[in-house]
Amino acid sequence: MNVTILGGGSWGIALAVLLRKSGHKVRMWEFNEEDAQTLARRRQHPMKLPGIMLPEDIVITSSLTEALKDAEYATLVVPSQAVRAAIRSVASLVSGSTLAKVRGWVIATKGIECATLKLMHEILLDEIPDLSMDKIVVLSGPSHAEEVSRMIPTTVVAASENNALAVEVQQGFGTDTFRIYTNNDVTGVELCAGVKNVIAVAAGISDGLGFGDNTKGALLTRGMAEIVRLGTRMGAQESTFIGLAGFGDLITTCISRHSRNRRIGELIARGMTLQEALGQMCMVAEGVETTRSVFALARRYEVDMPITTEVYKALFEGKPPQQAVRDLMLREAKPES
């Protein structure tokens, strides 16, 4: 199997190591030429995923034409807000005959585009000529790169409207430490992947304010209620939200020391401005921009998402986190739903 990884961040590195260990031929594209050269020379990135070595036979390049040469599967791991630009470059620089040979576009990016409120699979359909849903699969679930790269047991889902493609990815990407289930709810899996990052920011705020397990348990439960309300309104299957892409990923992202989104919330709660908190991060925290997108989607679909609303106000309107929590607790009493 010839696999191209589009994106040289921590998740891209982890997947490259995993796939090469399974015997696949792997090429990696990194937009930043300096980072590409660092990865090619040192075979690791000291900031993004220190200590994880890329095998010498993985080709690392900043050229899209070189990266996608002979690709059977193109795996997308660039930050969500950069996906459209990256895929537009793919469509303009790579020949149609080369793109036609790609059997599957594997989306491992988690987020929602702010400018259009579109999911990642919708961006691919917009930008790649003649691409159809039967060539798209979403790979998602509780899967921190720091653990996947060290072969710590991990389980995710591969979601596609084309079950045969989902099975191909299941069999080709799966290992004895990386178990994959198939799923056909592309919209639901992508929404879970994006919106859980917003709730993770809220979890970080809770941690930063010194709250405890009671608070975290309530936050995850009511946060999932928001995700379900939005997802079902947008056509997702309710069963998706209780699975790996839903509760599995939500729990992991909200409690893990590896979670950049949880960390952003923690820094905000400790008194930093958003810009100061972002300055502490060496990699993208998808939940920040996704909060904008989810807040706008809630308004578009007229869905009640109080946790998302308070996170939005804390990040972008300067609302004190303590007041955001107080306002959540003092909302009108109502039945659980």
Query: Which CATH number goes with the domain that contains 208?
Result: 1.10.1040.10
Question: Could you give the number of structural domains in the chain?
Answer: 2
Catalytic residue among 48, 110, 118, 196: 196
Asked whether residue 51 falls in the same domain as residue 116, the answer is yes
For residue 129, what is the DSSP state? Answer: T
Asked whether residue 271 falls in the same domain as residue 168, the answer is no
pLDDT digits (tens, 9 = 90+) for 171-213: 999 999 999 999 999 999 999 999 999 999 999 999 999 999 9
Asked whether residue 14 falls in the same domain as residue 135, the answer is yes
pLDDT digits (tens, 9 = 90+) for 215-263: 999 999 999 999 999 999 999 999 999 999 999 999 999 999 889 999 9
Residue 47 has a pLDDT of 80
CA 67/CA 249 separation, integer angstroms: 30
Asked whether residue 104 falls in the same domain as residue 246, the answer is no
DSSP 3-state of 155: strand
Asked whether residue 198 falls in the same domain as residue 170, the answer is no
Asked whether residue 241 falls in the same domain as residue 206, the answer is yes
Contact 144, 151 (CB under 8 A): no
Domain end position, chosen among 151, 184, 217: 184
pLDDT at 283 over 90: no
100, 99, 111, 102: which is closest to 138 by C-alpha? 111
Domain that holds residue 7: 2-184
Asked whether residue 171 falls in the same domain as residue 193, the answer is no
Asked whether residue 20 falls in the same domain as residue 115, the answer is yes
Residue 334 has a pLDDT of 86
Cα 56 from chain centre: 27
Asked whether residue 180 falls in the same domain as residue 191, the answer is no
Asked whether residue 179 falls in the same domain as residue 191, the answer is no
Does the residue 334 lie in any domain? no
pLDDT at 95 over 90: yes
Q: Verify whether residue 196 is a known catalytic residue.
A: yes
